[in-house]
Structure 1
Amino acid sequence: MLIAVCCDRGAPGSTTTALALGVSTPEPAVVVEVDPYGGDLALRCAAPGGRGEAFPPTPTVLTLASEARTMLSPGLVTSKAHEFTESTRIVPGHFSAEQAAGVKTWAPLAQALRDSASRVVADLGRIHSSSPTIPVAAAADVVVMVTRPEVGAVMHLKDRLERLAPVLANIRNAPPVIVPVVVTPKRIAGGVVDEVSQMLAPSNAAGVIAGVGWIAFDPDGVELMYGAKVGGKDAKIPVLRSAVVLNEQLNQAVGVRAYPAPGGGAA
């Protein structure tokens, strides 16, 4: 299963959401940082055991994109990933946009991610209809659009979805499956999801929106997550407990068989 996580504008938390989805699933998963403008997962994520060490400089997503042009196999993505937790591996992004100048098309990478034997969560960062990584979004089983609960942010998301949905549909030859996800504290999540759902209901893209989800605003838990100190069956902090529920929502959106939730159940 390929999950593409992206956002419309600013920094609403697409990278954190992608990592939480990868860490909280009970099955082997690879989180791939596919932001063409560069990323910082290699610096933010600690080595296994929380020793505070950064990942080695290679391989990165550019290594994977290069090899995907000439070799496709179900194990390619995992082979280029660094160990993060017991069941989660990471392919970090490059540091600057200039480093990606040699990638003429991201389509081979999209196919490699799609063909992976492991569950893949691809962080695309900010996206628009002419983004270089549109092929990855089009190849995804489900596209997660992360936003903040402010009215302005949601209205920008609505406009982005209306522009993006037909582009993805044209590439896929089928409607995309999109799940907007709001970053919000757990105590108000239900009300926020209802409000965002109502705001998006009149959208021209409403037909491809498979429900609205949420991910917990949890700065302390996020720090632990990036330190590789929690994950899998230890997913008891708010951000990961909400990610467990979100993973199940995404599974249901694309018709994937449900799996038992780790960490004692719902968020």
Structure 2
Amino acid sequence: MSGLIYPKFFPILNDKVVIVTGAAMGMGEATAKLFAAAGAKVLCADHNEEEGRRTVDEIVKAGGTATFQFTEIANSSDVQAMVKAAVDIYGHLDGAVNNAAHIQDDKRAWDFDEDYWDELEAVNIKGTAMCMKYEIQQMIKQGNGGSIVNVSSINSVRPKDFSVAYTSSKHAVMGMTKVASMEAGQYNIRVSCLAPGGINTPMLRDAVVKVGKKVTELGGMSRLGRIGEPEEIAMGNLFLISDMSTYVTGTTLFVDGGHSVL
């Protein structure tokens, strides 16, 4: 299903300003492109400058509006600069998809790499939390509400081998989402979580190679007999960011082909 053709959306995100982290490839790239097609002004944040700028170039060539911002989400000053850039360039901030993350481990629970654990948790947990922190601060300052999506994983409820650090981080993302939704709701700021299943991304392809498998062997990860495509995650993100979900907050949307109920 690679290269899905998007439905002809009415401009459901017209004039909204949205940050997408991890926008250089995979689910983040697909999300940034879909949001731009739906009328948003997208700030594409990533530490992969070459691929991030390619995403922006492709959006602009297709008639959309986007800007690249180099961002290491584990670095507080980069995260603050990311939010500031969105506001400086486009005037305000309406939404954010905090998608950037490190890939899963390649060690058993009794043999994990402690340095890699620290690196992964700094990005997946603290980095996501810092994105929320400064995005919410800006939205409170504006006084117009907003919507934030933190990308978790099917691993949060159906963990796999070789993923102790990754699984713990994705549990944490779901927990911090619930806390933030409780606290920010009074400002009409919605904070939700999207949990992808097996998705055909460079991250998944790299991860399965590390444990001696192939992406084509992962069809059993869903009720549909196949893994998902990045564009299918983008559709879920669109729902949670847009005004189609104005009464949705604090929850997790599983976009996993039914894997969570297997």
Query: TM-score by structure 1 length?
Result: 0.45
Query: Relative contact order: is structure 1 or structure 2 higher (C-alpha 8 Å, sep ≥ 6)?
Result: 1
